[in-house]
Amino acid sequence: MKKFKKLAMAMTLIFMFSLVGCGGSENTSGDKTKFKSGKYIGEAKGHNGNIKLEVEVDEEKIKDIKILEHKETKGLSDPALNDIPKEIIEKQSLAVDVISGATVTSNGVIEAITLALKNAGGNIDELKKVSGSDDSSKKELVKKEADVIVIGAGGAGMSAAVAAAEEGAKVIVLEKMPMIGGNTIRSGGAYNAVDVEAQKAQGIEDSIDKHFKQTFEGGDKKADEKLVKILVEGSLEGKKWLQSYGMKFNEKIGSVVGSLWTRTHQASDAAGTGYMNTLKEAGDKLGVEILLNTKATELIVENDRVVGVKAEDKDKNLLELRGKKGVVIATGGFAANVEMRTKYVPSLTADKPTTNHPGATGDGIVMGEKVGADLVGMEHIQLLPMAIELTGPTINVENSIFINKEGKRFINEDNRRDKLCEAIMKQKDGQYYMINDSQIIKEKNELGDNIEELIQKGVVIKADSIKELAEKIKIDEKVLQETINEFNKAVENKKDSFNRTLWKNKIEKAPYYATLRHPAVHHTMGGLKINEKTQVLSKSGEIIQGLYAAGEVTGGIHGGNRLGGNALPDTIVFGKIAGKNVVK
């Protein structure tokens, strides 16, 4: 790290020097010389560390940009690392947009390129000017046809696409963002599935009935029982399906905040990248076509049947895409749409943080409603008890305790997410510390974030003793010690005054970790009403022909509260069903 700092300082000096040195030679005389030809290094901070790249210029043009080093997460950062350099070369300009959802990486790439171009004698102010040319006259109408059109390339959309392509269908997927993955790729990667054999081998008792009961009752019996049954019965098969395409899960079965039981399979790759990379590769092999930066705007209905989608690309060209067999809506939820979420839950105003990607705006709900679709459970919006953006040492709950700013536990940590949030909001500042010890902390958390870096950023507090931890988080040492002693005693007896049921390790092995967390808007459980075949139903309960939906855009699966770890099986199980049925 020290080395890095020194290097960065040295580079800054070089940049400053070269700026002074080349200021006079910038192109003011009308000749075409823009740069001193050669290769220049630029380096700037990304999400997980520095991004180092090389820019090659001749006297007139930016010729090439190569990323030399970076620590960004595969899948999540690809569009920023690949598309931004491409666009800068194409436009010969630094006036490019950041990739929403990968803002930090985008800014890092742009800054590094800017520094390199500065070093090459480029006039940065000129390069940053937005060209005034309006090419709106060149807009085209593009028409395309396939068997199946899928809207949204998250977990549900890509599962539907792959499942339909397995049946031999030609599939086109529309994705409005510059990258696939939606909320799925940003999730913690946790997947609930009853696997009696594997759980038994790890000393865990479980059954499909138990998963059903916990899901249904954990959602206050507000879900559609038939859909819950499909979810819990199909989740193991969904996991095996992913594995058949090469996806890797960790061997150890655990639990996440709000999962209520130890049946969570953790993806081996960071966050939701394992799911999305697997589905993308499977789709590629099966010939699935994905149109990025293409936003579906309207369903096309002919003779009472949904036959296609109208869409718009990045350059505002219009597209008309027809699906001979039908259309699958898999546009995800609406937690990032303040207007829509406050319509159903007025308290979830703009000042409430969300864990969602910016594309989670409920477009599929609007498009569905326009063709008469019924909505169900729209008022059920889940807050995640453990923001900020899930970045702590872990999302595991069996080895965690939550303490308030007085140093005391205030709830059983294995409770439902809605109950946890209610309790957290009653604590000082609406925040709490998640406390862990070294037994479960690995080099990286489930999202792929490096713990040492989180410690350096001050997100995670690390201490060699409880005393030191108490000092660092400004809690009375005696109170914290007493809380931990009491918890450790409860671990021995598997019993505490809060009625906690999930017990694993004591908190006893230094170093100790604390992360300050709070609730954030996370998952919208309501949406389009579907039947067991994922066909979208109208307000009068009839099937809307040609229209299917899967994933967070649908309602009726989680009821009033979703179990942690149940969202990914929802997208895979119902995505697959949609893909199979639309082809039939």
8 A C-beta contact, residue 416 and residue 218: yes
CB of 549 to ligand ADP, least distance (A): 9
Nearer to ligand ADP, 392 or 527 (CB): 527
CB of 23 to ligand ADP, least distance (A): 43
Instruction: Give the Cα separation of 4 and 67 in Å (integer).
Output: 17
Burial class (CB in 10 A: 0-12, 13-18, 19+), 263: buried
8 A C-beta contact, residue 259 and residue 417: no
Nearer to ligand ADP, 401 or 572 (CB): 572
Nearer to ligand ADP, 266 or 554 (CB): 554
- Run of H or E including 460: strand 460-463
Instruction: Give the Cα separation of 47 and 457 in Å (integer).
Output: 11
Instruction: Give the Cα separation of 514 and 93 in Å (integer).
Output: 44
Nearer to ligand ADP, 391 or 534 (CB): 534
Question: Does residue 186 carry a catalytic annotation?
Answer: no
Report phi then psi at 198, rounded to 5: -65, -35
CB of 271 to ligand ADP, least distance (A): 12
Question: What's 530's DSSP letter?
Answer: B
Please name the residue that has the structure tokens 């395409």: 245
- Run of H or E including 199: helix 196-201
Q: Which residues contact 217 (CB under 8 A, 6 or more apart)?
A: none
Residues contributing to the site for ligand ADP (CB under 6 A): 151-157, 174-177, 181-184, 295-296, 330-332, 359-360, 363, 551-553, 571
Output the CA–CA distances (angstroms, integers) from residue 326 to 302, 309, 363, 372, 489, in the order listed: 12, 10, 18, 16, 58
CB of 182 to ligand ADP, least distance (A): 2
Nearer to ligand ADP, 157 or 254 (CB): 157
Instruction: Give the Cα separation of 220 and 133 in Å (integer).
Output: 56
Rg for the chain, CA atoms, rounded: 26
Instruction: Give the Cα separation of 99 and 179 in Å (integer).
Output: 9
CB of 571 to ligand ADP, least distance (A): 4
CB of 426 to ligand ADP, least distance (A): 31
CB of 449 to ligand ADP, least distance (A): 20
Amino acid letter at 220?
D
CB of 493 to ligand ADP, least distance (A): 40
Task: Give the chain's end-to-end CA distance (angstroms, integer).
Answer: 57
Nearer to ligand ADP, 115 or 553 (CB): 553
Tell me the residue number closest to ligand ADP, measured at CB: 154
From 186, 341, 409, 417, the catalytic residue: 417
Instruction: Give the Cα separation of 23 and 124 in Å (integer).
Output: 11
Instruction: Give the Cα separation of 173 and 282 in Å (integer).
Output: 14
8 A C-beta contact, residue 547 and residue 564: no
Nearer to ligand ADP, 195 or 552 (CB): 552
Nearer to ligand ADP, 121 or 272 (CB): 272
Residues catalogued as catalytic? 417
